[in-house]
Amino acid sequence: MTFDELVDELSKEPEEIAKVKYGTDIRTLYNSYPEEIENYLVHQLVDRTGDRYFDSLYENKMENQVRKPEKMSFYYITSFKNVDSIFDKGIFCRERVEKDPNIKFEDFSDKDIQQRRKEKGLHKYVPLLINPRNALLYRYLKEGRNVVILEIDSEVANQTGTLISYGNASSKNAEISIYTKQTFESLNFDDIFSIYWWREPKIKSITQSEILIPEIVDKSYIKSVYTFSEENKRTFENKEKIDRKKIKTPKDSPIFDMMFQNELYIDCVNL
């Protein structure tokens, strides 16, 4: 069985059958496809086969591995359809978007989560992610959403009223405080940039830690726009308002190296 055949078979089999049918085969395949299995599918193999061998292998590989970039940026995940408006007017907080009928905005976020955010007063802020490589992006890709990722200059956080949320801000356990360089540098970046969050709810939330910018992120802070689609890229290249130098794919950024530089992962998010 080849690696591609394994992926195809695992995607078809019910979990209880996969555990019995492929438990030993996967260990054998590991000798032939160690890089693919270690880097992209360990969590899938563990979940679908119950083989804890790969779980411990992955944890040992990633132990003490910090992936904080030398030069920090923040990130905003949005729909491809929102990019025109953003490059024209900037990124508005949800409260303003909902009140202004002239702002076109496609939203595929969870309504229940947005209700919690509204109740916590978070709709007055633009939520930027410290680490875009997290469960939120994973979910959008799995659902086939046409997402783009805007890279935002970290200087945006220096304006008055900026907050930090250690953990997803909608979570009841999120630690939200006023942004200062000192509080930012005191965050646990090992956890924020953790590669491994499956079956770890606390780490899953922490990888979605946020920088909350009051009201608007001016378009001048946009450093890059990342797209997963060649069609999107061509569309952006034909727009005068978007500098071609800012149009990138995930392969252009080291922060996406584990999750997106190999097309194998994109193919496997639907397992």
87 domain residue, yes or no = yes
Same domain, 7 and 133: no
Torsion of CA 126, 131, 135, 139, to 10 degrees: 60
The answer as to whether 12 is a domain residue is yes
* One domain for residues 21 and 154: no
Most confidently predicted of 25-39, 44-58, 113-127: 113-127
Q: According to the model, what pLDDT value does residue 265 have?
A: 35
Do 57 and 77 lie in one domain? The reply is no
Q: Are both 47 and 18 inside the same structural domain?
A: yes
Residues 46 and 21 in one domain: yes
Asked if residue 101 lies in contact with residue 92, where contact means CB atoms within 8 angstroms, the answer is no
**168 and 147 housed in the same domain:** yes
Give yes or no for residue 5 having a pLDDT over 80. no
Contacts 24+ apart (CB under 8 A), 239-243: 239/84, 239/87, 241/84, 241/87, 241/88, 242/83, 242/87
Computed over every residue of the chain, the mean pLDDT equals 78
55/89 same-domain check: no
One domain for residues 46 and 159: no
Last residue of a domain, one of 62, 88, 109: 62
**Domain match, 23 and 149 both:** no
Distance separating alpha carbons of residues 167 and 53, to the nearest angstrom: 29
Closest of 247, 21, 17 to residue 148, by C-alpha: 247
Is residue 67 in some structural domain?
Answer: no
pTM of the model: 0.74
Distance CA 195, CA 255 (A): 11
Domain count, the chain: 2
Per-residue pLDDT of 203-223, as tens digits, reads: 889 999 999 999 999 999 999
Q: Which of 131, 102, 101 is nearest to 256 (CA)?
A: 131
- Considering the domain boundaries, does residue 222 fall inside one? yes
Residue 42 has pLDDT above 70, yes or no: no
- Whether 87 and 129 map to the same domain: the answer is yes
The answer to whether residue 174 sits within a structural domain is yes
Residue after which a domain boundary falls, among 62, 87, 106: 62
Instruction: Enter the tokens of residue 207.
Output: 């990888």
| Domain edge (last residue) among 41, 62, 83 | 62
Residue 198's domain spans which residues? 73-268
Q: How high is the pLDDT of residue 218? A: 97
Q: Where are the beta strands (DSSP E) in 180-257?
A: 210-214, 216-217, 222-227, 247-248
Q: Is residue 68 part of a domain?
A: no
List the helix and strand counts (H, then E) for the chain: 15, 10
Say yes or no: 45 and 78 in one domain. no
pLDDT tens column, 183-205: 999 999 988 988 767 667 888 89
Q: Does the residue 131 lie in any domain?
A: yes
Report residue 155: phi and psi, to 5°: -65, -20
Are 208 and 236 part of one and the same domain?
yes
Q: Is residue 176 part of a domain?
A: yes
